[in-house]
Amino acid sequence: MMDEKARIEQLRTELHRHNYQYYVMNKPEISDIEFDHLMRELQDLELRHPELFDPNSPTQRVGSDINHEFKQVAHKRPMLSLANTYNKEEVTEWYERVNDGLQGQPFQVCCEMKFDGLSISLHYEHGRLVRAVTRGDGQQGDDVTENIKTIRSIPLVLPQGLDYPDEFEIRGEVLMPWESFEALNREREAAEEPLFANPRNAASGTLKSKNSAVVAQRHLDAYLYYLLGEGIPGESHYENLQRASEWGFKIGPQMKLVSSLQEIFDYIDYWDVERKNLPVATDGIVLKVNSLAQQRSLGLTAKSPRWAIAYKFLAEKQSTVLREVTFQVGRTGAITPVANMDPVQLSGTVVRRATLNNEDFIRNLDLHIGDHVFVEKGGEIIPKIVDVDLDARDENLGPRVEFITTCPECGTPLVRYEGEAATYCPNETSCPPQLKGRIEHFISRKAMNIDSLGPETIAEYFRRGIIRDPADLYEIRRDQISGARGQKDKSASKILLGIQESTKVPFERVLYALGIRFVGETAAKTLARNFKSIDALAKASIDELLQVNGIGAVIAQSIISWFQNAQNQWFVERLRSYGLQMELSEDELSEHTDKLQGQSIVISGVFAHHSRDEYKALIEKHGGKNVGSISAKTSFVLAGENMGPAKLEKAQKLGIRIVNEDEFLKMIE
């Protein structure tokens, strides 16, 4: 009789194979009941033999309710994004550039679906999954290995005896199928929770969950589309993906190898229609030169490979009937009109509501209740009304849509600032959506970063009267949030710790967290660097504010008005009394210099010593200004490896100095 150790290994191998047959090949060999019976047998054996624990066992796919904080992991090879195009003319231009770059050599193009999900990099060693990392900023991403293990179409262990390398990386897209997405939103609607806007957001939010058991319940899927590493078997992209499919990876069956521009157009035309029948969301086509040698010859720009391009589908448009317009109040008091319509199927989801942007947008459409309107999804995500079918109007047409004049939440007369398209409720201190929005903004990652709280928790505390503004967070008592019998004591401890830790957040982020209208993250950094403390900023005149680079009249007047409000003054004093940072620390002051004062700097390329974001922060710390494009006003270009050829050519043409990172670091020593 087989011993239990051998049986465990046999069951693991067998269950991995059945997972592949069911989730990748869609050809199950056994019934669900038989599969569950084998799984239970393995679970029982593993419980009896904890010394044989394997993190890649099929039993680990159910996830854990242990809260795993994500750590940042540097990509072994940068994850570049693809250049986008929206018409066939630009596809033609790309095809001709490839042809010119290859000096007329014949080449093939691999056509693939562009799946609309979250990019992932999977690392395998000796046939076993060892790490899964999100794209992040392209240089580093979040380690989400435990969550990825719950996706049953991703192999944890590859079959033995195949020709995969000892170490390789395979990249792809994590998706939430339409079926799972609709089921999830039905559950959230029944629980009166906010709905996900689209499968991509749902997949991203799910994969970033710190509870892998939640990830397992939401039935994510994954398609893989790029194989990298030393010793990969094939000399072409298409061949390598076919090999990867044999190893057990799920590869899009829509992939096709073509040899002409017309074949590319035929592929685009076919899938522009047929994609609506796919089980997952797509937003375009990816075109890749097939030969790896030709890919290397064509090379890369700073942001994207020259040998690949993404063709994005035009937004789908449908006609429906407008029934009502309602108005929502945002965090800043901005009023957003929302169209409520007869349900219409659009890009795989049923749409009942769409944004109407602002008052001018409504007036320009001459919108009436009962109008037949055309709705599309901007970027295939946010539904919006783009036109009115004037020919469909009849005698049953309802009244013209008029923009409201008072706040629908608090009744305050609305205002529209000069030069602004949006209309605002000015009642920042007692309008409920603004109050809740201010708290949500205050705790956000780029502000105070109190990640133990979320919008649902904030809404509950607000409803119960525990908090009315962000300062109230620092007065929360354990007995208020731990539950009647202390059943929430663990989460209460984490919330209270997060609130206490936020007192260490630097002044520039505290300033951003205050939620002063028009003062975004960049403006807050600039103001903190120039005025050094909240007291100096509060006393600043309009002329002093306008002298700060990047601060215009609208921002300056908003700051003046904010600090003149007695409630805001009291709010700042309360925060100060709780220990929040209201000035730059001595360390921060000592790090700030004027070595780059008045200089406009463009960053381009890939760097060895610091990330691009770190270099941007260094530029700001030393008084410089980050700009995105080269012009005659550019002081110099901070250039890493693979600087974009277009930027290099323009810099040389304008006589702009090119500075490498070692030279730059010497400049700011």
Active site residues: 114
Closest C-alpha to 638, from 665, 601, 606: 601
Q: How far apart are CA 27 and CA 12, in angstroms?
A: 19
Q: How far apart are CA 153 and CA 173, in angstroms?
A: 12
| CB contact at 8 A, 371 and 322 | yes
| CB contact at 8 A, 309 and 92 | no
Residue 43, token pair as written in the block: 């679970």
Measured between alpha carbons, how far apart are the two ends of the chain, in Å?
72
H helix or E strand, kind and range, residue 555: helix 553-564
Beta strand spans in 614-656 (E): 625-626, 636-639
Name residue 542's beta-bridge partners: none
| CB contact at 8 A, 210 and 69 | yes
Q: How far apart are CA 367 and CA 372, in angstroms?
A: 10
Name residue 351's beta-bridge partners: 344
Question: SS3 of 187, please?
Answer: helix
For residue 408, the 8-state DSSP code is T
Rg of the chain, C-alpha, whole Å: 28
Closest C-alpha to 512, from 425, 574, 589, 449: 449
Question: SS3 of 404, please?
Answer: coil
Closest C-alpha to 87, from 310, 301, 271, 267: 310
| CB contact at 8 A, 637 and 615 | no
Burial of 445 (0-12, 13-18, 19+ CB in 10 A): exposed
Q: How far apart are CA 246 and CA 250, in angstroms?
A: 9
How crowded is the C-beta side of 506, counted as CA atoms within 13 Å?
14
Burial of 503 (0-12, 13-18, 19+ CB in 10 A): middle
Question: SS3 of 640, please?
Answer: coil
Closest C-alpha to 591, from 502, 669, 482: 669
Burial of 506 (0-12, 13-18, 19+ CB in 10 A): middle
Q: In what order do the strands lie in the sheet with 167-175?
A: 128-134, 118-125, 167-175, 221-228
Q: Which amino acid does the sequence have at 327?
A: F
Query: For the chain, what is the largest distance between any 2 Cα atoms, rounded to a whole number of angstroms?
Result: 89
Cα angle: 505, vertex 510, 516; to 5 degrees: 165
Determine the length of the chain: 669
Name residue 168's beta-bridge partners: 124
CB atoms within 10 A of CB 396: 6
Question: SS3 of 147, please?
Answer: helix
DSSP letter for each residue of 72-140? EEE-SS--PPPPEE-SHHHHHHHHHHHHHHTTT----EEEEEEE-SEEEEEEEETTEEEEEEE-TTSSE
